[in-house]
Copies of this chain bind each other. A is one copy, B any other.
C-alpha cells in the first residue's frame, strides 16, 4: 500500500511541514514518491523512483517553499508494477485544456477496463489504468470543464465502479478543486484562524501556524493517516467522496 497527502487552500501555501511528515513514512513506503503542485492552471510535478527518505529531489522539496492552492503527494509501496519512474504517482493527463493530477492508494484486483478513448497507461500499475479509465469516462460525460458541483456528481457515479474492484483511496485535482475518495483509510482537517501549534507524529518537528499565516488563510489537509498530534482529524467513511475548494470541504 501507499500513503497519500493532499492540500487545498484559499491562498498559495507551501507543504514543507506536511511533506516532511509524509516523507518520514517512506522507510516503509520506499518505492518512489511524487508531488504535484498547481500554480493556476500550470502544474509542477516532481517524481522519483527512489525513496522520499533519501532522494535529493525530496530533499529539495522539503526545503524549498513552492506555494500552491492544490497539492497532491504520494509515497509508494509497490503492490502492482515494478519500482520504476513510469509507475510513480501522481499521474497527469490533459483534458479540456486543463491538467488533471491523480494519486491512488489501494489495490484493484482483476480490473481490466476497456480503454477505447484517448488515455492509455504508460506504466504497469492498476492505479494508472484506473486513472485512464476515469479520464475516458469524464471525457464522455461533459463537453468541457464542468463546475465543481457538476464534476462531483459525475465522480460520485464513477467512484463505486472502481471501488467495486478493491481498495480505492484517491486524490484528484484539476487546479479548481481537490476531490478525495476513501474506501479504507483517509483523514482530513481544516486549519483556519485562530491557528495553533502542531507537532509531526513521525518526526521531532513542530510548527506554530500563527507565525506563518494571516487570519484569512484556510488550508485543508487530506492524508491517509493523521500526520500531526494536537489537531482534530476527521476520518472519511468508506465510500465517501468530498470536494475541497479554497480550503473548505463542500457540503455533500
0/1 interface trace, chain A 112-125, chain B, CB 8 Å (1 if under)? 00000111111100
- In the assembled complex, A85 has its CB within 8 A of some CB on chain B: yes
Copies of the polypeptide in the assembly = 2
Query: Which of B42, B48, B64, B87 is the one whose CB lies under 8 Å from A122?
Result: B42
Question: Within residues 97 to 135 of chain A, which ones have a CB less than 8 A from any CB in chain B?
Answer: 97-99, 117-123
Which residues on the B side are within 8 Å of A95 (C-beta)? 120
Q: Is the CB of B121 within 8 A of A86?
A: no
Q: Which residue of chain B lies nearest to A117 when distances are taken between CB atoms in the complex?
A: B118
14 A–B pairs (Cβ distance < 8 Å), ordered by A: A40-B84, A41-B86, A41-B122, A42-B49, A42-B84, A42-B85, A44-B46, A44-B47, A44-B48, A60-B60, A92-B92, A93-B94, A94-B120, A117-B118
CA distance A242 to B121 in the complex (A): 28
